[in-house]
Structure 1
Amino acid sequence: MTSHGDDVQGGEDRSGTGDRAAAKESPDVEVPAARERARAIPEAAVARLAVYLRVLSGFDEESVTTVSSEELAAAAGVNSAKLRKDLSYIGSYGTRGVGYEVSVLIGQIERTLGLTRKHSVAVVGIGNLGHALANYGGFPSRGFPVSALFDLDPDLDGVPVGGIPVRHVDDIVEVCQEREVTIGVIATPAQGAQEVCDRLVAGGVSCILNFAPVVLQVPDDVEVRKVDLAVEMQILSFHVARRQQDAATANGADLGPLDGAGPVPAEMDSVNGMVVRP
């Protein structure tokens, strides 16, 4: 792809060549300065970095070697100023007249997101959702292989799903320790989620993706991401109602305070993700 102008802040060529050279020599060793930058990255920017990585991977598959900030921002659905700010957190500023080197930027983002490390995923709850997650090919292709499956139903014990035999939840601690599971996915009903979470933590799992409609209690050193589809639907409902309100106002009508939208959930601004009920 061609570059469409200034991809450098302040008109300087600040390409982060020191970090880049060290990364090329030893991709699994983080540069100290890069580690410090990673700690300072806002969570919203981390989410956007994951989007940039997906877009860049697509460019790489198409043999695109360089991309401008405008092109990358448009493909990622953000403005170019925000993209340049996000990439500055990882020490990448691009080169004037050239833009960003796709392969180098992919490497920088992967290191920042911890994707150069080995991950192992366990899914607990092999209902419809858990079954779909276990068979999802996007996990291993992006560095998150599913290595363990668990369910409470004894009839599922030993049954292969996605090529992996299901184990009973009683085996969570032992299996997670044995297979060095780093990420646990909870796809159980609400009433069993906390117990499952406790077992995962006891098995050494430090990051949990929670699809159960419940807030989990975990130690401070365990990260939990909650996925709530119902909340996302309510947020979309709010936006639909707001557009209807705007259209009615433009036509001289007044529908009142977002009539038909229903109550806007208090957690709308704080929840990032969705929850799918098993």
Structure 2
Amino acid sequence: MGAAQTAPGEPGPAGSAGRQLPAATVSRLTIYLRALTGMLADGVERVSSEALAEAAGVGSSNVRKDLSYLGSYGTRGVGYEVAHLSRNIAQALGLTHEWRVAIVGAGNLGRALAGYAGFESRGFDVVALLDADQMLIGSEVGWLRISDVADLEAVLARTRANMVVLALPSAVVQAMCDRVVAAGVRSILSFAPVVLQVPDNVTLRKVDMATELQILAYHAQRDQERDIAEGLPGA
């Protein structure tokens, strides 16, 4: 088995013509969709590529290139219809499907994820929260009652969960990942700072906050070094 993890440069979801989208494009599409959702809430009907680029914090050339993968081309002087473009992006990202999420691990992180209201507004329904701690099992987080992870397979089947989030310690996450895969779930998000082994037909994403902070520290150091070289005040 290999770790089938999507990474920069690897293909993402298929576009409108069935092609695979570049991973960088997929990442930006999620940002465009968030910006468009805000525009819809504000009653904005049309948006230019320049205005969308500014709202998303990317270059306008990136916007035009990314949206061309979806067959969406703005009209010169008119721009894009916000509602139509929002639907196209949501469809390309697979957000028109029913995504039912089970969270394994009801520690601080798991409970915070279970209570995050943004999932539902973006098309993800958190249907289960599981843990091995007998002191937690049966207690409630929002409307969810924490289930015993010993009953994982039955809970996944009963809730029809098709995505699983692993908010678990490194020592136990691989064994739990194996159970999730054996139960038929093919989309997994892990917060454990370890490389998980999954079959090729399973999509695994990993969120490693320590790694992200290290990358942030690198860029902060580079900025500081540049400020010192340029003799900027406070450097």
TM-score (norm 2): 0.90
SS at match of 1:120: strand
Partner of 2:39: 59
Partners of 1:132 and 1:53 lie apart in 2 by 24
Match of 1:109 among 65, 76, 89: 89
Matches within 5 A, 1:1-278: 34-37=16-19, 39=20, 41-251=21-231
Partners of 2:17 and 2:191 lie apart in 1 by 30
Structure 1: 5+ residue stretches without partners:
1-31, 253-278
Letter in 1 for 2:61: A
The 8 Å contact of residues 184 and 209 in structure 1, kept in 2 or not, is answered as yes
Q: CA deviation at 1:251?
A: 3.4
Instruction: Evaluate the alpha carbon distance shift between residue 146 and residue 231 of structure 1 in structure 2; reply closer, same or farther with a 3 A threshold.
Output: same
Cα-to-partner distance string for 1:125-167 (whole Å, 9 max, x where unaligned): 1000001011111111211111011101122222111211111
With CA pairs under 8 Å and 6+ residues apart, which has the higher RCO, 1 or 2?
2
Partners of 1:33 and 1:192 lie apart in 2 by 37
Cα-to-partner distance string for 1:66-109 (whole Å, 9 max, x where unaligned): 00000000000001001100001111011111100000001100
Letter in 2 for 1:200: V
Partners of 2:107 and 2:136 lie apart in 1 by 10
**Percent identity (aligned):** 52
Q: CA deviation at 1:173?
A: 1.3
Cα-to-partner distance string for 1:199-254 (whole Å, 9 max, x where unaligned): 211222111111111111111111111111111111111111111211222239xx
Instruction: Evaluate the alpha carbon distance shift between residue 33 and residue 251 of structure 1 in structure 2; reply closer, same or farther with a 3 A threshold.
Output: closer
- How many equivalent residue pairs? 220
TM-score (norm 1): 0.76
Partners of 2:126 and 2:48 lie apart in 1 by 35
Q: CA RMSD in A?
A: 1.7
Regions of 4+ moved over 6 Å: none
The 8 Å contact of residues 157 and 167 in structure 1, kept in 2 or not, is answered as yes
